[in-house]
A and B are shown apart, each in its own frame.
Chain A
Amino acid sequence: MSKIKIAVKSPSIDMTPMVDLFFLLLVFFILTATFRPEEAAPIKTPTSTSQKPIPDANLGTIMISKGDKIFFNVDNGTDSSLHIRAKVLAAIGSNYKIKFTPKELKKFEGLASFGLPAANLKAFLNAPDQKTREAMQIGIPIDSIDNQLLMWVRFARTYNTDLAFAVKGDGEATYPIVKKVLAVLQDSGVSKFNLTTDPKTGIAAELPAEFIIK
């Protein structure tokens, strides 16, 4: 006579559906993720009632930080094989008599916003880490003697004719510098551009009582 043996087995849970779900969500988030690029300076944009979303590509951004420093960013456009950023940097280089190596051009393509005089660009691109790079961001010169921002805008427009421009200013930046930036855009023939703002929270636009039309 033999005893009936009960197999000692730990309880098992079928995890397949959970894994399926996880991967589904994971794929969704990977596809929708847009990475926040390494920002040159923290900028707190003012709010507005505008509902128009920012363009996805073909955008040149001029940033004005709280301390009235100017930063610039231009994206690679819709077709990254055109290497727009590298071309713009090469053009800036030839304008200020700096020769960039292919490696430096490639490095520049991968970076985002920057704000420094053209003379320091080479050292900036060869900087070992982000911290060193950050310390070098002292703003792009915009004086009438040496208006480097104008050069960046012009060359960016030369190599990407579809480029739209956005001005992303900190709410605390002062008017004189904003005026200079607008003058740069006007000088380079950009009469239509965008001001980046945060959507207003709460009730957007209240009207005085006599103007509420029923």
Chain B
Amino acid sequence: MAEIVQEEGHKGKGKRKAKKHGTHIDMTPMVDLACLLLTFFMLTTAFNKPKVMEVIMPEKPKENEKPPELDKDRALNIILVENDKVLWYIGIAEPGKTVLAEADFSKEGIRKVLLQRNKQLFTNITKMNRDLVEGKLKLRPDSVEGRVKRFYKADKFGPIVLIKAADGVKYRNIVDIIDEMAITNIARYSLVDINPVEKMMVQARLVSKPPVTAIK
């Protein structure tokens, strides 16, 4: 491809002339190799790295230590059940009294419920983000996170979300609900075990399927 050196026969009686062209190296194999390696590395390089979601779980309570008291009206209990469904109620479950409302993972589903209850905090953070984008507010990138954390800490009215899951729930749904917490800027949430009362309620609910009642 590059250079095919043809031997030119020297016939005749004339003096042999020394060849004068410079040293030519046949670069074809090198190019072939470089091209091959290049293709290999291009195909094996993974450009989009997976993303991570940070989760902070409460530390295990020590023995003889009472769990922190929970404000009843702020407790929003979310129970994940099979088939991508979400049941929720406010406060503490009382058999026969508490009605489970149903939602899903669409934007009008559990996200709306969370936003309705977390409107103040969500508005504050969204406004701050918008100010940052528009340049009204100038912050170093690393102090943005700190500011959001301060917002979370100062939150006095937003819901405290307790996420519970029934046994048949897929891991996908757990990631989805934690993602919802991030989207709606919920300051306090935790993954907790489902209690027997709720288990009963969920079972009764899934069997009877009463009409969906939205609790406001």
Chain A residues with CB under 8 Å of chain B are 7-10, 12-13, 15-16, 18-19, 22-23, 25-26, 29-30, 32-36, 45-55, 64, 166, 168-176, 178-179, 182, 185-187, 189, 191-199, 205-208, 211, 213
Interface string of B165-192 (1 = CB under 8 A from A): 1111111101110110011000000010
Q: Is B6 an interface residue (CB 8 A)?
A: yes
Q: Is B48 an interface residue (CB 8 A)?
A: yes
Whether A195 and B53, one on each chain, are in contact in the complex, defined by CB atoms closer than 8 angstroms, is: yes
Chain A residue contacts of B42, Cβ below 8 A: 29
- Of the candidates B30, B112, B126, B130, the one whose C-beta lies within 8 Å of that of A208 is B112
What distance in Å separates the Cβ of B175 from its nearest Cβ neighbour in chain A? 4
User: Could you name 19 residue pairs across A and B whose Cβ atoms are closer than 8 Å?
Assistant: A12-B2, A15-B31, A19-B30, A19-B34, A22-B38, A32-B45, A36-B46, A48-B175, A64-B171, A169-B171, A174-B168, A175-B174, A176-B167, A178-B174, A179-B193, A191-B56, A191-B58, A195-B178, A208-B111
Q: Is B115 an interface residue (CB 8 A)?
A: yes
Dominant SS at the A interface?
Answer: mixed
Chain A residue contacts of B80, Cβ below 8 A: 175
Whether B48 and A13, one on each chain, are in contact in the complex, defined by CB atoms closer than 8 angstroms, is: no
Whether B171 and A9, one on each chain, are in contact in the complex, defined by CB atoms closer than 8 angstroms, is: no
Chain A residue contacts of B45, Cβ below 8 A: 29, 32-34
Chain B residue contacts of A194, Cβ below 8 A: 52-55
Whether B130 and A213, one on each chain, are in contact in the complex, defined by CB atoms closer than 8 angstroms, is: yes
Chain A's closest residue to B60 (CB) is A186
Chain A residue contacts of B35, Cβ below 8 A: 22
Whether A195 and B52, one on each chain, are in contact in the complex, defined by CB atoms closer than 8 angstroms, is: yes
Whether A30 and B41, one on each chain, are in contact in the complex, defined by CB atoms closer than 8 angstroms, is: yes
Q: Is B44 an interface residue (CB 8 A)?
A: yes
Report how far A128 CA is from B193 CA in the complex, Å: 44
Whether B171 and A211, one on each chain, are in contact in the complex, defined by CB atoms closer than 8 angstroms, is: no
Q: Is B15 an interface residue (CB 8 A)?
A: no
Instruction: Given A191-B57, A197-B53, A208-B112, answer yes or no on A10-B171 (Cβ-Cβ < 8 Å).
Output: no
Instruction: Give me the 7 closest cross-chain CB pairs, A-B, nearest first.
Output: A29-B41, A171-B172, A194-B52, A22-B34, A173-B171, A46-B172, A175-B169
- Of the candidates B46, B56, B168, B179, the one whose C-beta lies within 8 Å of that of A48 is B179
Report how far A206 CA is from B105 CA in the complex, Å: 11
Chain B residues with CB under 8 Å of chain A are 1-4, 6, 8, 24, 27-28, 30-31, 34-35, 37-38, 41-42, 44-46, 48-60, 80, 107-108, 111-112, 115, 119, 122-123, 126-127, 130, 165-172, 174-176, 178-179, 182-183, 191, 193
Report how far A199 CA is from B49 CA in the complex, Å: 9
Whether B8 and A174, one on each chain, are in contact in the complex, defined by CB atoms closer than 8 angstroms, is: no
What distance in Å separates the Cβ of B114 from its nearest Cβ neighbour in chain A? 10
Chain A residue contacts of B50, Cβ below 8 A: 45, 54, 168, 196-199
What distance in Å separates the Cβ of A117 from its nearest Cβ neighbour in chain B? 23
Chain B residue contacts of A195, Cβ below 8 A: 52-53, 55, 175, 178
Chain A residue contacts of B34, Cβ below 8 A: 19, 22-23, 26
Report how far A176 CA is from B175 CA in the complex, Å: 14
Report how far A205 CA is from B57 CA in the complex, Å: 24
What distance in Å separates the Cβ of B136 from its nearest Cβ neighbour in chain A? 14
Extra contacts, 16 of them, besides A50-B54, A213-B130 (Cβ < 8 A), are A16-B27, A23-B34, A26-B41, A33-B45, A49-B179, A49-B183, A166-B52, A174-B170, A175-B167, A178-B171, A185-B57, A189-B59, A192-B57, A207-B111, A208-B107, A213-B126
Instruction: Given A46-B176, A211-B119, answer yes or no on A13-B2 (Cβ-Cβ < 8 Å).
Output: yes
Chain A residue contacts of B111, Cβ below 8 A: 207-208
Chain A residue contacts of B51, Cβ below 8 A: 48, 50-54, 196-199
Report how far A192 CA is from B193 CA in the complex, Å: 18
Chain B's closest residue to A68 (CB) is B171
Residue from B41, B111, B166 having most chain A Cβ neighbours under 10 A? B41
